[in-house]
Structure 1
Amino acid sequence: MKSGFDAAQLVSQIQAWGRELAFSQIGVAGVDLSAAEPGLQAWLDAGFHGDMAYMASHGMKRARPAELVPGTVSVLTARMDYLPQATPEGWQATELARLQRPGEAVVSLYARGRDYHKVLRSRLQKLADRIASAVGPLGHRVFTDSAPVLEVELAQRSGQGWRGKHTLVLNREGGSMFFLGEIYLDIALPPSEPVSDHCGACTACIKVCPTQAILGPQRLDARRCISYLTIEHAGSIPEDLRPLIGNRIYGCDDCQLVCPWNKFAQRASLADFDPREGLAGSALIELFAWSEEEFLRRTEGSSIRRIGHERWLRNIAVAMGNALRVADDPAVRSVLSLHLQHPSATVREHVSWALAPQRRRDPRQGWE
């Protein structure tokens, strides 16, 4: 490693490079996250991670960067805005209105464009390469929601924002509509100043959660979260939660849509996050008709692809069942019926449920 470099000056240079690479902010955190270990262990002990066995399998490595990547002494954190470039003013109300159109498929905003893992990882690697060119041989590893990393904790400690009551990072200038990434480094850099909490007495995110997955400030039971149920969870979705999913087929943005800070959310500087055809404003019945081949073609390079065609059909079947209880549409019933003999037992189960004549509705969705 080149000797004699000014660490503070290097951080300023890294931040400038980060802006050139479309990152909204670069921060630095230390590696002592021991204060976060009791909370992480309690969350795991409560079983709030559900099927996400990988959350527990790494133990406390999540809170120990130097154990995960030996030699790490500093962590660079980065955030990147993802609201599509053409997002209009009043976008929160526009997105909330989608939930009142039962026949429309709702995909979480972050997933409508290119897979963020691909976008951030390549740019973080370019940033690491620039650092290496300045300081010489560099021990490092890049992460984008791709390994046991306490992402929110590191972001909070490095001044990216504070942990909102919904557990996501909130930034005064950027709301929460951004992705996070990290670079573990073997060089010592001065940590950034953390920022204070600005949620105050607001509990909008807790109150709006359709499944009441947010048990209290910074307490999330992932097993009830619609994002978890439609993305991470394999197999059957618990029957009591299906009516609460509404027309959300991939993820859920409700807690972010009602957050006052998201009036400051910034538009992406990259076109990568512009929505793909079919992933915003499409009818459930259209997406349910996608064959596996079409699903794979349309979701190539998208984060949606990783759930596979089976879960895609499962999720849409639940949404179509919810739509049927609002208005009985023969066309929807007909399309669902075509999948009663689907090879997947999971798909067959959810289609049968969707076609069943009785089910509780969720009056909070305005569909009573």
Structure 2
Amino acid sequence: MKRNTYSTLLLMGLLSGAGIDTAVSSPEKAPQVLIITKGNGGDANGAAGLIAEWPSKKPDLVNLSDTPPNLIDMEKYSCILLIGQGAVGEMLLSDNRKNLIAVKKIGMYSHLIDAPIMQFLKEDHTQSPNVFFLKSQVSLLRFKDLALFKKLNQMEDHHLWSTSLAIRSTRNAIPSPAHSPFLDMDNIIWLGGNYTTSSGARRILTDEEILDSLSNLHSTIKRGSSVALMLMPRLFKPDANLEDKLALLGKIAFAYSDTAFRFYANTSMANELNTVETPVHESPPYDELMTLPWGKTQHFASADQYNLFADLNADAKSVAPFLLDPFDAEQTLYAINFIDKSDTRSMRQAILSQGCKGMHTQ
């Protein structure tokens, strides 16, 4: 279980509420900007954050999980922003693609540059789209498609904006409690899980891979120190039953038995997984955790949680990324860019200021 220790330790050392689906039932005078997203994860929350901070008339918001592309009246809009890999992919592959391209200005953000995005960027368009990518993804194009890499380099600061970190999915105005017991924690481990790669493949992690990675972290944590392990819903394999889940948690708890260790999860997971043998405590809301005034706590975060690195309060000075798959080049480069910290630009601010660049009125 120690086969990937070096790779992991190397990296360690280095919408609801903000908009409504108004694009279908047309108001008398619709805004010129439409934001399209999908799901209820980091990208959808990032889209809601954009609307909350939009500098002028608020855009409309459509979530493709509620409204299919063919029901969106795109002719009303001068600018459409696609936020998130799911929204971008569905709109580029949908029957509405021609209507989308006919819009005066298109902007798109994705934390991964996948095949549909690459194909779209290779094509010639009357109006060049404004695209927002991670620096790590643009760098990897050098090895995937050199011609496209060179084309994007020519677009930099004109139609391409790249930042080290993904879009922030939390709001600015979330008040943090006067004191939280989490602030007394010596270590917090933010554990992700299964994820989708830029090739479109779903990466399902084995229990052994998860345990290997956490065992590597354990070797850097002081015996007897307090450890909170934050569980994410996608940790477990899709076909895992309750017995399988509890077995994995039991092995993790055993590996950390020489520390003051506690599991935390959202309400649903805590209700499902909490047992006398392996207690799972309910964690505060994600937004609250992200805005805590972190000071002394050492954070460890698996690199598949792209948004988390942008979400954590700047007071969290000590944040070490680690890999659940040490051979994942995309996450390796993302983690390295985070550790480097030379690029402090915000993806949200880049989209707010440049998303509809080229549209006469924003």
What range is the shorter-chain TM-score in?
Answer: under 0.3
Looking at secondary structure, tell me which structure has more strand per residue. Answer: 2
Looking at secondary structure, tell me which structure has more helix per residue. Answer: 1
TM score, norm. by length of structure 2: 0.24
TM score, norm. by length of structure 1: 0.24
